[in-house]
Structure 1
Amino acid sequence: MEPKKNPKADLTRNSGLYFAIGMAVVLFLTWQGLEWKQYDKDEAFTYKMDVDEELEEEIPITEMLKTPPPPPPPPAAPEVIEVVEDDEEIEETVIESTETSQDEVVEVEEIVEVEEPVDVDVPFAVIEDVPVFPGCEDAKDKRACFQEMMQKHIRKHFRYPEIAQEMGVQGRVAVMFTIDKDGSITNIRMRGPDKNLEKEAQRIIDKLPKMTPGKQRGRPVRVPFSIPITFRLQ
């Protein structure tokens, strides 16, 4: 039995060729669509060089400053000098001679020596007679005895402030004071790392006893003294 379909009417015979052509056309149209660019007429720029406007630049008019005329020359000095006679009489002063002869006796008034008060501060290191701390009256070296008694006084009255212990504050307080002409302690000053330590150093120095004042040339004088007090936590 023969087939009824005509072999010339086979549609799948050239399908590969048609597919390739269709793909090429589609790719071409796609590429053209991506490359297509269109510009609006409003966004187009036109460039024009106006030569006339550049040449017609306005130049500002500057005014000429008028310099003031030079000052007139000074008047010439007179050629003839007039001499004016002075009618006033000048009295001559007579200077008496101050020379004395050997035979002349000159009376000299009695010279009274006035003692000038010594009102200066003499440092402890250079004063002639150092202040005497109570208990050092019979000591041979009163200067060394004074230093030793000061250390004993500080150790006896030393008390570490509780608030400084809680805060962990420690350091050295420099104490400066003056032993006055009557032996009293005045002008106490402190400098340290904490106010509580300075307050304790003030309390210790306030308890110092009255001393025998220092002397310079046999006269009482003020003697400044300084000593450090160390506060250290154990």
Structure 2
Amino acid sequence: MESLFLDKIGLFSNQISRDDLKPGDHIYSWRTAFVYAHHGIYIGDGNVIHFTRGDGLEIGTGTFLDKIIVGSIPNHGGDNNNPCSNCGHQSNLDGVISSCINCFLSGGNLYLFEYGVSTAIFLTKLRGGTCTIAPSDSSDEVISRAKFLLLHNVFGNYHPFENNCEDFAIYCKTSLMVGKDYMLGRSGQASSVSAAACIARMVSPWASNAIRLFTDIGMRKDVMKVPVESFVAQVNAVSTSAREG
């Protein structure tokens, strides 16, 4: 009940109706008990491009969080006996995929990730993964980036903390990439569950929010604009080198 109240007043997340959707929007849907959210880019005509892991499960931390996340994320495309009439059975797909809005939401509600928010608004959010101070590029650029990554099915290996669905959507919206020597990904979800944030949360929720602000991609100094063509070429080169090595 408390989560629903916070959601309604906008402190927890930013629920919208499908009628308000615009091509190029970064959208997300909270899973069970607001534990984890799945993110993607709405490209119009009821379709969403998003980054996922095979079997529809964003797992792989090697910690107790795997059990929580597995229980929070249903399949993206129905089941083997009753596949989606638009998408088919997608749960075995891996990487960057396109789904209808129904499969993307998987029965959850629809939320809009906000860009270019003020510091004051950012600090009022009780959870990471709902907004950023960084501005968004134009919708045409966002959609073009997402479609290019879909065409090549490239965004590296999925990792819940270091390279996840929120990271994918943020890159599509901004073309910003974090320096290689930084451990955390670009996502607010990752910073929310980092060790430092967990410790700060025990002291004060505002201390935790301050850490999220410090690690927000719109505040960090170790980011740069990376054209999608250059990014795909770099990822492919690394993959080729790893196979040959």
Interval containing the TM-score (normalised by the shorter chain)? under 0.3
State the TM-score, normalizing by the size of structure 1. Answer: 0.20
Q: Which structure has greater helix proportion?
A: 2
